[in-house]
Structure 1
Amino acid sequence: MLTTHRISADFYDDSFKLIAIHSNLEDYAITYAINSGCGLYLKRMERDLCLEANAKFSVFDWDDELNDLYWTLIANKCVVEEVIPSDGLFGNNTSERMDHLIKERKEVDYFLKVDAADDDLIEEQVRRINKIARVMTAYPIDTQTLKSKRNLIF
């Protein structure tokens, strides 16, 4: 007999603040710009965030022990390659599609997640991020309105 274990929704700690960032910079370049402009020390995590077999989202994090904050920069977009089997002359074809971490916010390129932060700190960081060249805009997001916010809890 199989046993199914479920984790209660009460178990998830979703007390984090979220900043949406629109930028066409690569993940390493936006991380460098945020580190330089905001005084953070984000580093690439050893493993990417995998939701599906091929969908891997880059993640950068920093544990600010001095201020008791945990910062995470997460890419909202990733390119997924799919093999399309074919019996034709050219064999199998590959197709690329864009996948999103937060599907209801497809226009956002990156999310800066801050655990245990107050609203004043978030507003200050939003002002600093908006001053970075090649960042179109950055703004705070109310996490309670997101349907797929569990993708941000890892």
Structure 2
Amino acid sequence: MAVHKLILDDFFEEVEGTLIAIHCTIEDYRLAYLLNKHLSINLTRRKSNLDFSFNNATYSIFEWEDSKQLTTWSLVSNICKTETYKPDNFNSLFNTEEKLTKTTYLVPEHKAVNYFLKIDNEFNLSEEKLILNKILEIQQVATAFSIDINQLKSKDNLIFN
């Protein structure tokens, strides 16, 4: 019996865009405000969170569509913490439940990253460095760096539409 092998490399293009990882401990709305202020953009909260039903995780997301540059900017949280209660199995005078906190990551390869800024447009290197330097000027940001989207195993999680 003949074996047919399909090679799909020609059909799928590499993802075009810029991905910036941001380490900071402030809330998502505060970071969106500071990015708007420093980058002269207008990120607003999406009506619904980014929802992954296969692992019961939701991630906050802020977006802005720049019609002049034909660019979409997305700020998304990398961390989702969910709490569940596990009932105790032993017989006790008191009914106690153990609270379990489960942490899931949008991009598990970068667990230390708090937020990702995804820009759906291919910038040249100097424009990307300029954006990165403006982000690093924000006092509340510990560090920020660029990530090659095509090197990520979980790059499908970064498709928001």
Q: TM-score, normalised by structure 1?
A: 0.87
Q: Distance in 2 between matches of 1:137 and 1:150?
A: 25
Q: Distance in 2 between matches of 1:66 and 1:17?
A: 18
Q: Percent identity?
A: 34
Q: Which of 118, 140, 143 is 2:146 aligned to? A: 140
Alignment of 1:123 onto 2:129: yes
Equivalent in the alignment of 1:68: 70
Per the TM alignment, residue 13 of structure 1 is displaced from its structure 2 partner at its CA by 6.8
Equivalent in the alignment of 1:85: 87
Equivalent in the alignment of 1:54: 56
SS at structure 1 position matched to 2:129:
helix
How many residues align? The count is 147
**Amino acid aligned to 1:114:** I
Alignment of 1:103 onto 2:140: no
Query: Conserved in 1, the CA contact under 8 Å of 2:17 and 2:123?
Result: no
4+ residue runs over 6 A deviation: none
Query: Conserved in 1, the CA contact under 8 Å of 2:132 and 2:144?
Result: yes
Query: Conserved in 2, the CA contact under 8 Å of 1:69 and 1:117?
Result: no
Q: Could you say what the CA RMSD is over the residues aligned between the two structures, in angstroms?
A: 1.9
Query: Conserved in 2, the CA contact under 8 Å of 1:54 and 1:81?
Result: no
Per the TM alignment, residue 129 of structure 1 is displaced from its structure 2 partner at its CA by 0.2
Per-residue displacement from partner, 1:4-35 (whole Å, max 9, x unpaired)? xxxx8846772221001011111011111100
SS at structure 2 position matched to 1:97:
strand
Unaligned runs of 5+ in 1: 1-7
SS at structure 1 position matched to 2:103:
strand
Unaligned runs of 5+ in 2: 1-7
Equivalent in the alignment of 1:27: 28
Which of 1 and 2 has greater Rg? 2
Q: Distance in 1 between matches of 2:56 and 2:82?
A: 6
Q: Residues 12, 150 of structure 1: CA spacing in aligned structure 2 closer, same or farther, 3 A cutoff?
A: farther
Per the TM alignment, residue 124 of structure 1 is displaced from its structure 2 partner at its CA by 1.1
Equivalent in the alignment of 2:3: none
Per-residue displacement from partner, 1:86-142 (whole Å, max 9, x unpaired)? 344324433112211000100111000001131332211100000001101111101
